[in-house]
Structure 1
Amino acid sequence: MPIDYAKLKSMQFEPIRHTYTRRDTMLYALGLGVGASDPTDAGDLKYVYEKSLVALPTQAVTLGVAPMLLAQPELGINFKLLLHAEQTLQIHKPLPIEGTVIGESSIDEIYDKGAAKGAILYMTRKLFDAGSGDLLSTLGNVAFLRGDGGFGGKSEGAPKPRAVPADHDADQAVPLTNMPNQALIYRLSGDYNPLHSDPEIAAVAGFERPILHGLCHYGMAGRALIRALCGDDPSRLLRLDTRFTSPVYPGEPLQVEIWNIAAGDASFRVVASERNAIVQDFGRCEYRL
């Protein structure tokens, strides 16, 4: 049964009220491998130690999320065949280290690539501070609905992300700390999909072992870009967009390759170096000078 385009577009989702603590902020950073290479590094300690704690901007991806939002039966989506394809983040104000936020989600558009090619669904989530009402961040989630093409919708007009430069090598490459147990820590920030922890579930999905959450290595790249481009000041990060292109296994070597495009604007991708596999592509990072 094809998805009902009109019903999806008109769906109204209840705002999600989410209270988080300093412990959650520190646990999120630990789930990205912060402090794993050098637990005395001052740049890392500020994300995991309450003495001078600040929140990583990418923690917003874990907040105000409606559980299994697209799995609701009335939406008609074949959730088992859904893939997280792209993630965007615009930062309007620094994320508090603790507090209560309101997440408001909406479906922006669905593009029909054909019965054999699936569909692409674009969603937006706005994250507000519950106390002040201030808009903290705007997040975009692009889902590849592999089993839901052919519903009769439009196929053209989807936003096209900016490709990394093809005419020259990256200006710098930064290794990422990827621990063997990283998925087991990161899942404690709210994504309990057993694909990332249960070897039997991973095998059924066609993987040799559990894979790392896409939003985990997205956050790892974000932390590296803050250090490389923002003078290790997270308040300078303004935008972080990426496309997920290949699975990542916990523990395998990763590096983020960075191209300087203009003042306050960089492109990036993430590579699993031993496999020479691009696992994130079309990355865009904007930051305050």
Structure 2
Amino acid sequence: MATLSDRTFTQIAELMHGSIGLSFAPSKKPLISSRLAPRIQRLGLGSFEEYLQLISTPDDGGEFQMAVDLLTTNETYFFREPAHFELIEAELARERPRRVAVWSAASSFGDEAYSTAMLLADLHQRGQIGSDWSILGTDISDRVLHSASSAIYPAERLRQVPPERLKRHCLKGEGESEGLVQIGPKLRERVKFGQLNLCAAIEGGLPGAPFDIVFLRNVLIYFDPPTKRAVVDRVLTQLRPGGLFFIGTAEGRVPCDTPLQVLAPGAFRKVAG
């Protein structure tokens, strides 16, 4: 397999940044090489240059999207960063709102969206929120959105979900489906998924906006500083004043012009303007 030259790496990085805002520093060259090399081999192409030519053309057969998936897909699982869900539970139990709208802005395979759905369903059952609650999950990847809509997961991904909650909200696979779990239909009907490029303008607002809770976790790492700021401010236009905003706990300071109050690592409240 041919090696990834500096020149071709730069061209791939420029294509990703220009198209969807992804930023890859020179230190990410080994990552791009290791993620794309098996795909190039599977397609029967002879070099990274041929692959670049393929994903640069409009008639690429969806290969550009495949490259995006390969370069951005990370491990995800249910109730990742549990302190965020504990904060949401405490906040909603205190406020007892009649309506709760949530946006998982980089929803990936849906683990975050369905984790939140489990929490909201339990809060509603306890009478701590009203019956009008909904969740929107968006991502740039068709592939992960299709998987999220099916709501079928390896049981290992739900390792942090207590057995009682699993029993309430999930269907356990048997026979050929042993080791798999599907989210139950009552939760699935509350969670909708759609494709969205966070680097593009949000025309006319999103379904369900303004949201009470917005997750933008573990995606800002893919953007350079100016793009991060633009993305965060754009996303926050869809959050109501006083609403909760979450990024990954390891992502540091939020780069934005929108006033935010720090609640905990990775957790913020949008300040009323």
TM-score normalised over the length of structure 1? 0.28
**Structure richer in helix, relative to its length:** 2
Of the two, which has the highest radius of gyration?
2
**Structure richer in strand, relative to its length:** 1
Asked which structure has the greater RCO (Cα within 8 Å, sep 6+), the reply is 1
TM-score normalised over the length of structure 2? 0.29
